[in-house]
Structure 1
Amino acid sequence: MIINNLRIENFKSHSKTSIDFNTGISIIMGENGAGKSTILEAISFALFKQHSSRSLQNLVHSGSTKMKAQLDFMVNNRLYRVIRERGKTTSQASLYLKEGDNFHKIVSGDKLVNMEIQNILEMDGDLFLNAVYVRQGEIADLIEKTQSEKKQLIGKLLGIESLEKAWKNMASLIKDYEAQKENFKGRLESMGNLQDKIKENNVKKNKIQGQIGDIQSKIKEIITQLEKIKKEKDEMDNQYVIYNQIQSEISIKKGLLTSAESRQIELKSEINKIIDQEKQMEKIEPQLNRLPDLNRFKDLISDTYTLKKDKNRIEELVTKIKSFESILSNNQPYFEEYKVIQDKILDISKERSHFAGAHDLMESKKSTQKNLQKKITKLKSEIESSFDTANNALDSDFNKWEDLEKHLLKIKKAVDLKIKSLDLEITDIHRQISSLEGLNQSIKKPLKELESVEGQCPVCKSDIDESKKNELLTGYLGEMDDNTGKINKLKFSLQGMEKEKEIMESKSKIIQAINVDVLKEKSKLIDLSIKELDEIEMEMEKLSSNVSKLEEIDANLSSKNSRLKEITDQYNQYIKAQGALDSAEDSKILQESLNSILKQIDFNNNEILKLKSSSGVHSEDIHKIEEEIKRITELNNQYQQMKGSIDQKESKIETLKKVDSSIKESKKCIETFTQSLENLPYNAEIHQKLIKSFETKNQEFLEENGNEKELNGILKGIIENINQFQEELDKYQQYKAELSSTNDFIKLLNIFRDLYGKDGIQKDLRNMSRPIIEENTRDFFEKFNFDYSDITLDEDYNIDVYGPLGNTSLDMISGGERIAVALALRLGITRALSGGNLELIMLDEPTIHLDSYRRQELIEILKKMSIIPQMIIVTHDSDLEEAADNIIKVQKEKGNSQIFIETA
């Protein structure tokens, strides 16, 4: 499979991204969190709907309601397109095949699309992730992890981990069925005596049915007796009702009689009281004639008092008006002067508004001028200091940024080329030292064995004498010394190169520290500031005349305000007096009112003299008059009340006659009802005996009826028990069959569990896959052109390589060679999983967890790789750009991932 194009919309942090993938090595670069790995996840999602989010909704870009992933890929020279879309609650999937110039739909729907892609690629989603997708840290794990951890990692890639998981999970499943089996056994044991229980309950049923028959006969007999007693009782109940009705009538009539006799006494008393009130009224009536004169006397005194108060108030107002008129006359000149000055201040203020702000604007301009002058001085000083720093560092004498920029570009390129050249030489020396150290390490083993054996070569097992042994020892030791000498020379050269590289890197840092762009910007800022300073000075010259005019206006305004302040008190006195006169009444009207009040006072005084003789009160004390009025008023109230009672005299006499007649009628009715009661054939004693006899017999009926219901309930329970035992008896055979079936299923589960175990399918899968992985790993490793003839894997995936010195373990070879072996092993696993057709591999952060040396070795290997048609690598390691045919850079701005395509 070769990937041609990926288009995603609103997929995680990518709002709209389109990438054309070419063959060769494509590097996806960017900072952590920029959205690099999301591109690989989008490929996996488009193909198999595989993703790392908790839910599909989490794949939708924040603020959006719909996302889309579209992938074009080629298999066997046929171009396919898969499209997956996700809305708020629905998802869609479609697969197309290109025929001619257009794509034609093959299938749609998630399930059908997944199945068709599996058929095309000959792998499912999990296999795709294990085969094509190399996750973060896998290369490092194949180098640095322990042997058991490496075996576990390879097992996970091969799918063995899921078999192990199935083997573990089946233990709990078998345990559940064992518990179910024990449950069936317990149920069968508890059902052993069901037949006995059914017989026992049938005996109880027959006994209860006999008892119910006896009770039903007894109930019939009680009902016959109860009906006879009820008939006699009903007759006596009717007589009792009539007896109570007559008793009630007698009681009502006696009550009416008592009430009428009380009313008779009450009416006689009220009539006598009315006769006494008639006599009192004759005595009170002569005093009531004085009341009108007394009220008139009181009103005149009160009115005269009010008139005198009004007279005093008016006289006081007239005096105040004369005082305000005097104040108005004295302050008239100041009031008029104040008005004139106010008008002049208003005119001056209008004129001032044309020049307002000139002074503040002038101060603002002066401040800006001062700040610009400081800024220019500071910028000139900073530029001069920057040139001094640069010239000291470069041993030059530049004073123009253009000349300095040209010089820096020239020497920066030379320094960078020198650093890269030194890096290559240092890497090569490291490789040579590692190779020589590996050779020495591989010599130590035969050397040690040679020293300990007698008469036999430890390598070829041929017979050797002492001289031959010494010759071999000398040869091995000489080779080691020669290698050690080479290593020392290489290390010496390495020290010189590293020192030279350190000097060049220091020089590069100095060059990097010289920021010509800053000098350029500061020079431009000086020019702009000087131009702005000239403009400010021209504006200040124009403002000068306005400031002078404003100062002249402000002096005049201050003089006018000063005079206004001097006469403010006189002006306020005039305003207050004028306000008081405007709100006061007219003096003529006040005088007329005063004259009218004086006349009324004289009239009232004459009337009071007249009333003193007619009212019988000679004092003008208002309180005494009011007390006399109150006394006579109370007498008048008593008179009126007694008058109302007297008016009812004839009515009460008539009512008394009616009450006397009612008393006679009630006495007659009581005599009649008493006679009827004596003639009624009702016997209370016999009635009570019948009631008690009926209640006793009825209670007996209820008890027997309750006993019948209780026995029926017991009978129902016994019948239900018999039915339940019969049902359980039917289930006995069912449980017996299920127990047998469960036993057989547990045996089958144990067989399957043994198959999934380490000695079952897992072992077979390892044995079958190991030779294929070994062969593929060997093929890839040979393409890296290392000086080794073979590579082998044992059953635990331990790796041995064969070189000039024979068999060597992975721990004995150089770091670069170990990186190559790990990469070859991972590619070998990928080819084995993909059925031998490996066209694409995706690496997610392959350099993560590697030290700088091993990271550089991996980059060097990737540079030379042309063994896979298409490789996509996600990384934040900029060194990998050197290995790229295509570079895709990812940046995140305001939450959105953006891509930039570069060609290496």
Structure 2
Amino acid sequence: MLTRLRLKNIKSYRDAEIHFEEGINGINGENGHGKTTILEAIGYILFDFLPNNKHQYLLRRGARSGSIELEFIGDDGIAYTLRRKVGGSEIRLSTPIGEITGKKDVQDWLIDNLFPHLTDPKELSSLFENTIGVPQGTFTAAFLLRPSDRKKVFDEVLGVDEYKKAYENLRKVIKLIEEDLQELKDQQLILQTRTEGYERLKKEKIGLEAEIAQLAGRIQDSQKELEALKARREELETQQKLLQKVENELEVFERSKNATENHLARVKKDIERAETAERLIAELADEKNEYEESEKTLRSLYARREERNRDERRVQELKHDLERLREKQQRKEELEREISRLNSEIEELLPLAEREDALNQEIERVENELKEPLQRLISEKRQLQQEQRRIDELKIKIETLKREKEQFLPMLQKQIGLTREIEEKSQSIAVIASEIRELQEGLAQAGEKNLCPILKGVECKEVPSFKTYFTREINKRQRILETIQTEHKVLQKELEALENPSEEIAKKDALIADAIQELERLEGIPERIRENSERLRVLSEKFQRYLELTGEAGDEERVKSILSELKKKLEALGDAKRELSKKEALIEEKEKEVGDLSEVHRQIKESEDKLKVQTSALRKYAGLDATITVIEAKVQKLKNSYDLYLQNKPIVERKTEYINEYKRVSNKLREEQARIERLTAEQRSLLASFNESEFQQTIKEVEELDRKLSRYQTSYNEKSHQLEKLQQELSRMKSELEELKRVEERLEEEREFYSYVSLIRDLLNTSGQLIVLELINQIGREASNIYCEIMDDHSLDLQWSDDYDIIVMEGGEERGFAQLSGGEEMSAALAVRLALLKVISKSDIMFLDEPTQNLDSRRRENLSQQIRRIHGFKQLFVISHDDTFNEECDHVIRVEKVDGESRVRTTIDQPL
């Protein structure tokens, strides 16, 4: 049950909240005030139905997005809230345990909990459009389609497609089962082929096991024999290794003894050489001391010569500095001359730079205070002129619509008159039909008891029979009835020919209201145009020395021309300001350089004084080079004796070391001789106990037995490998035999399942149409009863054919839906749709949008009473501009449009 609907920026609703009650909810209001929008919003949020499939259709004019919020109570008695954004993809369902988001998840929940008879979210839209909430103006549309198109619509409503889909869907199942059967047969054949040699392989396995056991015994015997031989070989090998070790040690000590003897001879020679060196350095001691004294004197003279060289270099540096300072003095004089010249040039550039500054300021002022504001004003003016043209267009449109509306007013009056006459004729037909029935009853009574037609219930004996009187009166009224019925049909056709001018007037009124609303939005445009003109005038006065502004596009071109002239004047100055800055920078740079050279004259005088002092100091080094030459000659003469002394001194110093080494090496030689003698004795003993020929024979026997054992082992391994492969193959075959048994069992089950599915598919193919035909007959009978109630004529009979055409039987005459009048079409379509709802709909709610279209007052009244008798729905929604239904409604919602905005003004609870 729906309880609350909130609309934000949906068509003519800005922000409205509407409450619903259980029972019949009437939604009443004038045409174009927003009644149908309520139905469209519910259709969109709950059933995903949207006319034209365009979201912009639902949005309020000027709004970028809108939202719909629907609160309802499910079959579990719990309240849920569904929210959906228009102009976006957001959709949310609030439940007591959390939120569900996303269109697919929300629609799946709706189908599971509200519409369990549906299987696909796509069916929601069709359910709403063709059954629950048939949109305004489409009650009769489906019945006017070609038979093939009509069949598509109602096949979907009645679920015919479900049987066809089930039949077709099972085709894939049959195909899959057939594929499974073939796959199982293929598996059966493969497994049978792969397990053919199972018994033969079992026999091979027994033979291999016997051969492997025999080989295992031979291997065991050979291993015992081999172990005994290996033990003897290891014993002999140990003796051989010990002998080899002794011989190796003997050889090592022999080599070591030879090396020690050689070393001893070298040490003896070193001692003799040290004694000779000791005698030589005693002879060279005096020459060595004289050499060292001369070296000391020479080092002192070299230091003095280095001091002289430093003083000479200082004299050269002073001369170089003096020359550099004189060059700086010349540079200072040149700079002072250049500064004087640059100051003269600056005096000439000053007036030009001031003119350049003035032009730059003027260009900036025109750019910022004229060009940019003028562009904004012209752009604003164009937009305002466009809005003004729209105002003029709207005024013309309103006048045009009013004239068009006035053209419909005479037809409206005629429509009102015809409707009134048709109602009067209908009343007359009902009265005369009632009189005819009474006369027919009187005729029947008169024929039996001859009762008087004047004095009711009194038998008249004076008149033989009243049959002639009753027959004449009946015929008379029959003629009057036929005449009135003919006039009624003529009036009905005239009314239909007018094509409902009241609806056209309502459309024109809605268009006029929209245009007036837009005019109200644009009412400030003239004032803004005046403000724009005033700002343009102020700007024109400010720059009147250049031009007079008009606010047209040509003003921008003239401003560009003014800026171009100013820039040309600026270019003609040749960038004097930049030249001025450059020369000022040069002067600053050169004055700084002059300042850096201000001390150069003083520095020249100081350098000349230092040079005189340093030149005078060089005189004290006279004769130094000659003295150095004499001492160097003496040192060179003593050099050989000094070097010979130094060469022999280290040898003398190691004499004690050589004597100690001689003693140590002599002791080592004695030890090595003793060790060689002991090893020679041990070698003779080992040679006496070790037999080389026995050792070689044992090695040969071990190798032969090892090869024999290897052959046994190889054969054993090959046979074992064969047995392992054979066991694996037997294991595989055993598994495949078990699998073959399972495949054969599955094959039998699949064959039984194939037979079952084929039977079900055949049943769906034959019984589906029979079930639908029964539904059509049931709906047709219910629709006929409703149609007779609406038409207030139970002599009529409505039938719904198997191609979904509506046929009305009247007085033996058969008429198809296309042959009915407008009112009859609407009544018949309503009857079938109401019957559909009662027979097949599983929904607790139903919507009727303008169900009284083309119905006269009597039929509207009949329809309202018929709707009250509809059972099986918690809520019915009747949307109408006609207040006929208000008395039959449990709850009435009145919608009005105020200043272009739809509002729910009043809510009235009707007494039951």
Question: Which TM bucket (shorter chain)?
Answer: 0.5 to 0.7
Match of 1:213 in 2: 213
Report the counterpart of residue 100 of structure 1 in structure 2: none
Q: 1:599 aligns with which of 613, 626, 640?
A: 613
- SS at the partner of 2:623? helix
Match of 1:57 in 2: none
Q: Using a 3 Å threshold, how does the CA distance of structure 1 residues 72 and 685 change in structure 2: closer, same or farther?
A: same
Distance, in Å, in 1 between the alignment partners of 2:176 and 2:383 is 84
Of 520, 524, 529 in structure 1, the residue corresponding to residue 527 of structure 2 is 524
Conservation of the 8 A alpha-carbon contact between 1:327 and 1:577: yes
Asked if structure 1 preserves the Cα contact closer than 8 Å seen for 2:181 and 2:750, the reply is yes
CA distance in 2, matches of 1:656, 1:201: 92
Does the residue aligned with 2:5 lie in a helix, a strand or coil? strand
Which residue is 1:24 aligned to?
A: 26
Deviations 1:182-213 (A, max 9, x none): 56666777888999966545533432332233
The counterpart of 1:769, out of the listed 766, 775, 778, is 775
2: CA distance between counterparts of 1:163 and 1:840? 26
**Aligned mates of 2:746, 2:338 — CA distance in 1:** 130
In the alignment, the residues of structure 2 paired with residue 633 and residue 18 of structure 1 have an alpha-carbon distance, to the nearest angstrom, of 127
1:234 aligns with 2:240: no
Letter of the structure 1 residue corresponding to residue 314 of structure 2: T
1:700 is aligned, of 708, 711, 725, to 708
1:831 matched to 2:838? The reply is: yes
Question: Whole-Å Cα distance in 1 between the matches of residues 718 and 731 of structure 2?
Answer: 20
Residue from 405, 426, 437 that aligns with 1:416: 405
Which deviations, in whole Å up to 9, do the C-alpha atoms of 1:575-626 show, x marking residues without a partner?
A: 5433433xx5994x9867764554343333431x221220228xxxxxxxxx
Given the alignment of the two structures, is residue 668 of structure 1 paired with residue 673 of structure 2, yes or no? Answer: yes
Question: Is 1:222 matched with 2:226?
Answer: no
Provide the rounded CA distance (Å) in 1 between the counterparts of 2:334 and 2:182. Answer: 127
Shift of residue 239 of structure 1? 2.2
- Letter in structure 2 aligned against 1:237: E
Of residues 686, 690, 698, the one that matches 2:698 is: 690
- Distance of 1:234 and 1:315 partners within structure 2: 103
Q: Does 1:43 align with 2:51?
A: no
How big is the shift at 1:304?
A: 0.8
- What is the distance in 1 between the residues matched to 2:713 and 2:141? 89
What SS does the corresponding residue of 1:616 show, helix, strand or coil? helix
SS in 1 for 2:597: helix
Amino acid of the structure 1 residue aligned with 2:4: N
Cα-to-partner distance string for 1:640-664 (whole Å, 9 max, x where unaligned): 9877654432466667664774995
Superposition pairs of residues 572-651 of structure 1, within 5 angstroms: 576-581=593-598, 584=599, 587=602, 595=609, 598-607=612-621, 609-616=622-629, 645-650=647-652
The more displaced of 741-750 and 309-318 is: 309-318
In structure 2, what is the Cα distance between the partners aligned to 1:192 and 1:373?
96
State whether structure 2 residue 804 is matched by structure 1 residue 800: no
Distance 1:186 1:812 in 2: 65
Classify the secondary structure of the residue corresponding to 1:797. Answer: coil
- Tell me, in whole angstroms, the C-alpha distance in 2 between the residues paired with 1:140 and 1:205: 87
AA aligned to 2:760 is F
> How has the CA–CA distance of structure 1 residues 649 and 29 changed in structure 2, closer, same or farther, with 3 Å as cutoff?
farther
The one-character-per-residue Cα deviations of 1:278-307 (angstroms, maximum 9, x if unpaired) are 899979959957565356435523431233
Per the alignment, do residues 832 and 292 of structure 1 end up closer, same or farther by CA in structure 2, a change over 3 Å counting? same
Shift in CA distance, 118/327, structure 1 to aligned 2, threshold 3 Å: closer
2:163 — aligned with what?
Answer: 163
- Give the AA of the match of 1:418: Q
Once the two structures are overlaid, the 10-residue window that deviates more, 288-297 or 186-195, is 186-195
State the Cα distance separating 1:238 from its structure 2 match.
1.4
Map 1:86-165; keep pairs closer than 5 Å.
Answer: 93=95, 131-132=131-132, 134=134, 142-143=142-143, 146-165=146-165
Is the CA contact (8 Å cut-off) linking 2:33 and 2:902 kept in structure 1?
A: no
Distance in 1 (CA, whole Å) between partners of 2:739 and 2:228 is: 57
Q: Equivalent residue for 1:476? A: none
Matched, 1:753 2:734: no
Structure 2 CA distance, aligned partners of 1:156 and 1:901?
A: 37
Deviation at residue 523 of structure 1 after TM alignment: 4.2
| Match in the other structure for 2:457 | none
- 1:155-188, CA deviations, whole angstroms, 9 ceiling, x for partnerless residues? 2222232222222222333444445555666677
Partner in structure 1 of residue 455 of structure 2: none
The residue type equivalent to 2:626 in the other structure is S
2:257–2:673 Cα contact (<8 Å) kept: no
Secondary structure of the structure 2 residue equivalent to 1:42: helix
Whole-angstrom distance in 2 between the partners of 1:570 and 1:367: 41
Amino acid corresponding to residue 173 of structure 1 in structure 2: V
Q: What is the alpha-carbon distance in structure 1 between the residues aligned to residue 727 and residue 627 of structure 2?
A: 118
Contact 1:166–1:756 (CA under 8 A) maintained in structure 2: yes
Q: How does 1:535-554 map to 2 (within 5 A)?
A: none
Deviations 1:706-729 (A, max 9, x none): 544544454455556666666666
Task: List gaps (5 residues or longer) in structure 1.
Answer: 46-51, 53-66, 96-108, 343-347, 394-403, 430-481, 542-560, 618-627, 848-855, 875-883, 890-897
Give the distance between the partners of 1:378 and 1:257, measured in 2 at CA. 125
Letter in 2 for 1:602: S
Structure 2 residue identity aligned to 1:800: I
What's the offset of the Cα at 1:801? 4.0
Distance 1:174 1:252 in 2: 97
Moved more, 36-45 or 561-570: 561-570
In the aligned structure 2, how far is the partner of 1:775 from the partner of 1:540? 90
Shift of residue 309, structure 1, vs aligned partner: 1.4
1:203 and 2:203 are equivalent in the alignment: yes
Change in Cα spacing, 1:372 to 1:224, as seen in structure 2 (3 Å) is closer
TM-score by length of 2: 0.55
SS class of match (1:209) = helix
List alignment gaps of at least 5 residues for structure 2: 54-66, 85-89, 98-105, 419-485, 545-577, 869-875, 881-891, 907-912
Give the Å deviation of 1:222. Answer: 0.9
Q: Structure 1 residues 410, 885: CA separation in 2 closer, same or farther (over 3 Å shift)?
A: farther
Find the aligned partners of 1:85 and 1:270 in 2 and give their Cα distance.
118
The change in CA–CA distance for 1:162 and 1:409 in structure 2 (over 3 A counts) is closer
Tell me by how many angstroms 1:754 deviates.
2.1
Letter in 1 for 2:595: Q
**Matched-pair identity in %:** 14
Q: 8 Å contact 2:192–2:740 — kept in the other structure?
A: no
Q: Give 3-state SS (helix, strand or coil) of 2:804's partner.
A: coil
Q: Report the Cα distance in structure 1 between the residues aligned to 2:737 and 2:371, rounded to whole angstroms.
A: 110
Taking structure 1 as reference, are residues 221 and 782 closer, same or farther at Cα in structure 2, changes over 3 Å only? same
Any conservation in 1 of the 2:205–2:726 contact (CA below 8 Å)? yes
Aligned to 1:881: none
Which one-letter code corresponds to 1:746 in the other structure? Y
Between 531-540 and 154-163, the greater mean CA deviation after superposition: 531-540
Matches within 5 A, 1:784-863: 789-802=796-809, 806-810=813-817, 825-834=832-841, 840-841=846-847
Shift of 1:747: 2.9
Q: Residue 26 of structure 1 contacts residue 871 of structure 1 at CA under 8 Å; is this kept in 2? A: no
Aligned 8 A contact 1:143 1:818 in 2: no
Between stretches 266-275 and 287-296, larger displacement belongs to: 266-275
- Specify the alignment match of 1:451 in structure 2: none
Shift of the 380–822 alpha-carbon distance from structure 1 to 2, 3 Å rule, reads: closer
The structure-2 alpha-carbon separation of the partners of 1:603 and 1:358, relative to structure 1 and needing over 3 Å to count, comes to closer
Paired with 1:638 and 1:419, the residues of 2 have a C-alpha distance of 149
Per the TM alignment, residue 832 of structure 1 is displaced from its structure 2 partner at its CA by 2.1
Instruction: Answer yes or no: is the 8 Å Cα contact 2:133–2:846 preserved in 1.
Output: no
Q: 1:795 is paired with a residue of what secondary structure?
A: coil
